[in-house]
């Protein structure tokens, strides 16, 4: 690793940590129904929190015009409003902080010529994704400020998916700086074996991303509140009402049964696939210590995340467990990317 680029890698990992925090806080914001408490998008002015009683009265008055207040929270006091306001405020403030923490060092590294052109283009692309994410967040909130006081599950999933894409981009670039050379294979390692492991790891990373998207739909239509049993779904291996909506494809996005079934199905695929990758990597190939460590971390994180998912489901989605489960998804994704990166140039 080029020692001149070590600060860049550290900076990108700090950004990863902030995105992780953003995903967790965003999960709590959704679980507490706080996301619609701020009915305006003010990227600059909105940074200043309410201080005086007049500030709070004005914010509550604006909130009273929203469908959520009129249909769900009618008669809410200022103190009750504060409980949901602060989660959404900190969620937006954290988004602004991430933009600042990314942009300022990026300009510094750019002007001090510590970033070459290829890396500069990658980082500029990530910055554009961050701006798009800010717009997507407000676009999502707008869907809940009309007739139905619930944000669209489609926009929610897009917002969540984009957060994971930004996280993956930051982490992948950081790993490329920290481990730029092919140190994965042992001297006599079979090339075909390494190619197979690489394809397997890449496939699992994509599958986890798809599972994250399915989790977005679970959250968006509150499918976790149905079928709070495991491993069967209220006594069924395959529940009978998977395709009750017409046309049939709506069931994958709007039917609580189908959405939760799909999320479970992907989890089962991972439960069998990740240990298989781990077994092949540890016992069927000669790999570096770092690669073996990444494989161990991947398997351990899968066990933790599956346990969190089952516990969250059985307890009907309590806020603390659900938020932890959402954070666990980021860590599982990170572990899969670490493993994938270790095989990136193999074969």
263 is an annotated ligand-binding site residue? yes
- The CA radius of gyration of the chain, in Å to the nearest whole number, is 22
Please state, in angstroms and rounded to a whole number, the distance separating the CA atoms of residues 135 and 142: 11
pLDDT band at 185; cut points 50, 70, 90: very low
- 109's tokens: 């590294």
pLDDT tens digit string along 9-33? 999 999 999 999 999 999 999 999 9
pLDDT tens digit string along 233-244? 999 999 999 999
What was the pLDDT predicted at 184? 44
Give the rounded percent of residues in the chain with a pLDDT score beyond 70.
Answer: 95
User: Is 80 exceeded by the pLDDT of residue 39?
Assistant: yes
Please state, in angstroms and rounded to a whole number, the distance separating the CA atoms of residues 343 and 336: 11
User: Quick one: average pLDDT of 195-203?
Assistant: 93
Chain position carrying tokens 């009618």? 74
pLDDT tens digit string along 101-128? 999 999 999 999 999 999 999 999 999 9
pLDDT tens digit string along 267-297? 999 999 999 999 999 987 778 788 999 999 9
**Domain residue ranges of the chain, discontinuous segments joined by +:** 1-180, 183-346
Nearest CA to 164 out of 125, 209, 203 is that of: 209
Spatial CB neighbours of 163, under 8 Å, sequence gap ≥ 6: 19, 22, 23, 26, 133
Give the rounded percent of residues in the chain with a pLDDT score beyond 90.
Answer: 85
What was the pLDDT predicted at 346? 53
Average pLDDT over all residues of the chain: 92
User: Is 80 exceeded by the pLDDT of residue 46?
Assistant: no
315 is an annotated ligand-binding site residue? no
User: Quick one: average pLDDT of 294-315?
Assistant: 97
Decide if 162 contacts 132 (C-beta within 8 A): yes
pLDDT tens digit string along 317-330? 999 999 999 999 99
What was the pLDDT predicted at 187? 42
- 299's tokens: 């398997």
Contacts for 193-198 with beta carbons within 8 Å, 24 or more apart?
193/280, 193/284, 193/285, 194/285, 194/343, 194/346, 194/347, 195/346, 195/347, 196/280, 197/277, 197/280, 197/281, 197/285, 197/343, 197/346, 198/340, 198/343, 198/344, 198/346, 198/347
pLDDT band at 1; cut points 50, 70, 90: low
Please state, in angstroms and rounded to a whole number, the distance separating the CA atoms of residues 298 and 107: 34
Kindly report the number of other CB atoms within 10 A of residue 273's CB atom: 15
pLDDT tens digit string along 137-167? 999 999 999 888 889 999 999 999 999 999 9
């Amino acid at each position: 690793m080029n020692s001149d680029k070590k600060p860049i890698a550290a900076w990108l990992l700090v950004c990863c940590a902030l995105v992780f925090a953003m995903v967790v806080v965003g999960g709590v914001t959704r679980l507490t129904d706080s996301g619609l408490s701020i009915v305006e998008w003010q990227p600059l002015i909105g940074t200043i929190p309410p201080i005086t009683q007049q500030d709070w009265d004005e914010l509550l008055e604006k909130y009273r015009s929203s469908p959520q207040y009129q249909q769900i929270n009618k008669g809410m006091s200022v103190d009750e409003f504060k409980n949901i306001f602060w989660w959404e405020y900190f969620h937006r403030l954290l988004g602004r902080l991430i933009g600042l923490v990314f942009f300022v060092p990026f300009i510094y590294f750019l002007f001090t010529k510590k970033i070459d052109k290829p890396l500069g283009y990658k980082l500029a692309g990530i910055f554009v994704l961050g701006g798009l994410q800010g717009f997507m967040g407000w676009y999502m909130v707008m869907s809940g400020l009309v007739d139905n006081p619930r944000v669209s599950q489609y926009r929610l999933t897009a917002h969540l998916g984009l957060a994971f894409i930004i996280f993956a981009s930051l982490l992948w670039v950081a790993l490329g700086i920290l481990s730029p050379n092919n140190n994965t294979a042992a001297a006599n390692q079979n090339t075909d074996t390494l190619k197979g492991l690489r394809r397997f790891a890449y496939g699992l990373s994509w599958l986890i991303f798809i599972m994250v998207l399915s989790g977005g739909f679970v959250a968006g239509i509150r499918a976790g509140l149905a079928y709070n049993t495991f491993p069967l779904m209220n006594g069924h291996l395959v529940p009978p009402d998977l395709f009750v909506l017409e046309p049939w494809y709506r069931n994958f996005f709007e039917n609580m049964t189908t959405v939760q079934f799909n999320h479970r199905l992907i989890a089962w695929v991972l439960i069998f696939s990740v240990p298989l990758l781990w077994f092949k990597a540890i016992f069927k190939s000669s790999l570096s210590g770092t690669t073996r460590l990444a494989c161990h971390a991947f398997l351990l994180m899968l066990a933790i995340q599956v346990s969190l998912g089952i516990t969250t489901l059985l307890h009907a989605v309590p806020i603390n467990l659900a938020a932890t489960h959402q954070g666990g998804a980021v860590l599982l994704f990170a572990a899969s990317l670490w493993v994938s990166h270790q095989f990136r140039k193999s074969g």
